[in-house]
Amino acid sequence: MNKKRAPLTSRHSAFGFVTCVLLVVAFLTVTPISSAADAAPSTLCHGYVACSSGTFTTHGYPAHFETPYWRMYAGNNCTNYVAYVESTTYGVTTPPNLLGNAGQWPTTATLDGALVNQTPTVGSVAEWNPGSPGIPFPGHVAIVEQVGPTRVTS
C-alpha cells in the first residue's frame, strides 16, 4: 500500500535556500527577513484572527484544536496544528511512528520513509531545531503555504 507522505523541510541554518511563507500556530508571530543583513523585520500576522485573513489561513484549526492528530498533544501547539493540516488538507496518513517533539521530526519522519531535505514545497513541513534563533526547546514545525523569495522566521 502506497501511503502519501509530506516532505519535511529541515531548517538548521540561518542562511540558505529560497524559503517560504508559513502559517504558524496562532500564538507565534511570523516575521519575514529577506537576508541576514537586512534592516528591521516586520510582522506579517499574529494570532488566529489575523493569520486567517487575506492570503493566510488556519485551515479551520480553531474549531479542531482540542482534537489530537497523529497522536500529538491536542491544543495550541505547532505539532498538533501541522498534523491536523497535513491530515485534513493534504491527506497525509498518520505516520507509523510517533514523531515526538518538533525538533525530533526530521529523524523520526525519515524512519517512516518521509523525504527530509532543505527544499520547501507547498504542503511540506518546515522544522526549526531548538536553539535556532528565537526557537526554544523543543523546536518548531510549521506548514509551507507558499514558496517565494522571502525567508521567514518564527
pLDDT in tens, 59-113: 999 999 999 999 999 998 999 999 999 999 999 999 999 999 999 999 999 998 8
Query: Strand pairing partners for 31?
Result: 153
Selection from 3, 37, 9 nearest residue 21 by Cα: 9
Threshold 0.85, pTM exceeds:
no
pLDDT in tens, 39-64: 444 566 667 677 777 777 889 999 99
Task: Tell me the domain boundaries of the chain.
Answer: 8-153
Is the Cα torsion angle 112, 119, 10, 117 positive or negative in sign? positive
